[in-house]
Structure 1
Amino acid sequence: MTAYTGQKLLDTLDAHGLEDWQGLPGRIGARFLTGDFATGLDLVSRIGAAAEEANHHPDITLTFPHVDIRLTSHDTGAVTERDLELAAQISELAASAGVSADPKIPALLELGLDTAHRDAIAPFWAALLTGDASNVSGRDVIDPAGQMPLLWFQDCEEHAVPHQRLHVDVSVPGAVAPERIRAAVEAGGTVVDESQAPSFTVLADADGNRACVCTLENRS
């Protein structure tokens, strides 16, 4: 099965006339402007039926004014003919419902972290973001629940810990926070500051990169 990535993916979308869809790392995405919740719900129902028939299932986000769709073939980690065929069907369903797409919208957030110690810090970040230190694949931290952005590690030379201008806040239910903190520490992290717990607890990985586990408890 052919996997489409990079420029090849963009060229293939053009060749198939999939103007509603944009190429993203490892997937394609589209936003359909339904304008109201009922229209969006009806479109999602139609897409669900088409997906069941194709035995190939997209990620769908339904909001009041629009429906966002992401398609990928998980067995290849890339876009395949299955995605292109279902994308064409989805566009046809949207058109038949009088729904247009906004091809300028699809975007994907990924986080890249420079490190000379990928193997040492990857389990910490997997535990912090997903609760399971084993959710590491190659240079990526993967969230099976699909709630966290992809975090990947960029190899770099050994260097002193720089002043940190950006850090990650992971907000979880109060009952989950102690378990998440414990998992991160067991995976090689340290607690830097717990004076504001349970509102937030500051942790650091083995490189000194800081992150917070946050809850709504004791917040105004």
Structure 2
Amino acid sequence: MPALLDDAQIAARLAELPGWTRAGDEIRRTLQAPSFLAGIGLVARVAEAAEEADHHPDIDIRWRTLTFALSTHSEGGLTAKDFALAAAIDRLAGEAGCEGAR
């Protein structure tokens, strides 16, 4: 099982992921897709990455606005799995041309 990260570890990892913020026991990021269909395509690619990692985000879709929330529910907080998937979401969002993606 993945180990919970402490506050210092979480802060250090967040510093490596601009655009992600902490909200209690989860990290969140909101992005703007170039179109509704591009956003849905990104969600599909994130779903594939999540399945491969066996770690699934909460995703909110509001037209072109996508919000991703990550937490390791089985551990009751944030683990390395959350930050690895966040990095994958950033990479995929960049490929999809989302505003705010690096």
TM-score when scaled to structure 2?
Answer: 0.88
Match of 2:80 in 1: 81
Match of 1:28 in 2: 27
Query: By percentage of residues, which structure has more strand?
Result: 1
Q: Which amino acid aligns with 1:74?
A: H
Q: Which amino acid aligns with 2:58?
A: D
* Alignment RMSD (CA, Å): 1.6
Match of 1:93 in 2: 92
Structural mapping, 1:120-199, within 5 Å: none
In the alignment, is the contact (CA less than 8 A) between 1:3 and 1:79 conserved in 2?
yes
Match of 2:5 in 1: 4
- C-alpha distance in 2, partners of 1:5/1:60? 25
**CA displacement, residues 22-65 of structure 1 (integer Å, 9 cap, x when unaligned):** 11100100001114311111110110111111111000011112
**CA displacement, residues 120-170 of structure 1 (integer Å, 9 cap, x when unaligned):** xxxxxxxxxxxxxxxxxxxxxxxxxxxxxxxxxxxxxxxxxxxxxxxxxxx
Q: Which amino acid aligns with 1:92?
A: R
Percent of aligned pairs with the same residue? Answer: 32
Match of 1:72 in 2: 71
TM-score when scaled to structure 1?
Answer: 0.43
Query: By percentage of residues, which structure has more helix?
Result: 2
In the alignment, is the contact (CA less than 8 A) between 1:40 and 1:67 conserved in 2?
yes
* Bigger radius of gyration: 1
